[in-house]
Structure 1
Amino acid sequence: MPIRVDQMMQLLCRVAQEKEMKAAVKHSFRGGIVTITTAFAGGLLGGPPGLAVGGALGGLLGAWMNSTKFKPVPQILRQLPPAEQQKLYIEAIAVLQSLDWSDFARLTAVVMNSHLLQLQLAKLLENYFTREQSAVIKYGA
C-alpha cells in the first residue's frame, strides 16, 4: 500500500519529535544587506561620522538578525511548501522501501520501534536541512 506525502511528513515529524530536533536557518546575506544599507544611509546623511555610526548600527542589527533562533523541526516540516515535502518524501521512501508493512499505522509502529530506522530518518532530515535550508540542527532540549 503506498504511503501519501502527508503521511510521510507525519512520520518524519514523529521521528523529529522523538529526537527533539531543532533547526536554525541562518540569514547572513540579509544581515549583510542591512549592514551595507545602514552604513550607506549614514554616510549620505552624516558624512564620515554618519558612515561610522551607520556602519556600527547596521553591524549590530545585522548580527542580531543572524542570531540563531532554533525552531522545532516538526513545526518547520509542516510549513514546508509541497515541492519541498515531495523532495523529502522521495528521500524517505528510499530509506523505507525494503520494509514490510501493510498500512501507515504499521509502518509508523515499525519505525518508532526501531532505533536504527529512527536514526536513518533523523540523519535524512539533518542532511536535508543542512543542504536545502542552510540550517544548523540541534538534538535534545
Structure 2
Amino acid sequence: MESELPAEMPILVEDVMQLLCSISEERKMKAAFKHSGRGALVTGAVAFVGGLVGGPPGLAVGGAVGGLLGAWMTSGQFRPIPQIIMELPPAEQQKLFNEAAAVVRHLEWTDAVQLTALVLGSEALQERLLAVLVNYVTKELRAEVRYDD
C-alpha cells in the first residue's frame, strides 16, 4: 500500500476568525466606531425643534445643545475586537479571512487550537496578522483601534 501525500487541508473561516479573536484578545485590542452621520442628524433635529419652539433664540440654543449631544454620540464606545469579529456578517468575515489566510496558508494545523498555538509561538506571524486585522478594522469598518494595557 502506497502512502499518499496528504491533500492540502482546506482553511476554515471559523478557525481563522478564532485565531484573530485570540490574538486581538491577547493584545487587549478594542475598536470604536464613529457615528458621524447619526450625530449630524441629532444636531440638526434638535436645532430644528429649538427653532420651532423658540424662534431664532431657540434655534441658537437648540443648535448648541444638539451639537453637544451629537458630539457625545460620535465619540464612540470602545468594544473588544474579538466581539466585533464574531458579530461580522459572513461576507465581511470572508473578506477578513481572505486577507488573513494569505499569512497562515503555509502552516499545517488540524484545528483552531493548534493554529492559535502555532501563531502565538511566532512573534513575526502575530505581527503580520495584527497588521491585517488593524488594516481591516480601520479601512473596511472605519473604526479607531486602541490597545488597553
1:43 is aligned to 2:55: no
1:54 is aligned to 2:62: yes
1:15 to 3, 10, 23: 23
Q: 1:102 to 1:63 in 2, by over 3 A?
A: closer
Shift of 1:55: 0.5
Shift of 1:72: 0.7
1:103 is aligned to 2:110: yes
* Structure 1 partner of 2:135: 127
Over the aligned positions, Cα root-mean-square deviation in angstroms equals 1.2
Q: 1:35 to 1:23 in 2, by over 3 A?
A: same
Q: Deviations over 1:24-81 (max 9, x none)?
A: 1111121011101111121122110110111011011101101231111001111111
Larger Rg: 2
TM-score (norm 2): 0.88
- 3-state DSSP of counterpart to 1:138: strand
Structure with the larger helix share: 1
1:64 to 69, 72, 75: 72
* Structure 2 partner of 1:76: 84
Unaligned runs of 5+ in 1: none
% of aligned pairs identical?
57
Equivalents in 1 of 2:126, 2:148: separation in Å?
A: 14
TM-score (norm 1): 0.93
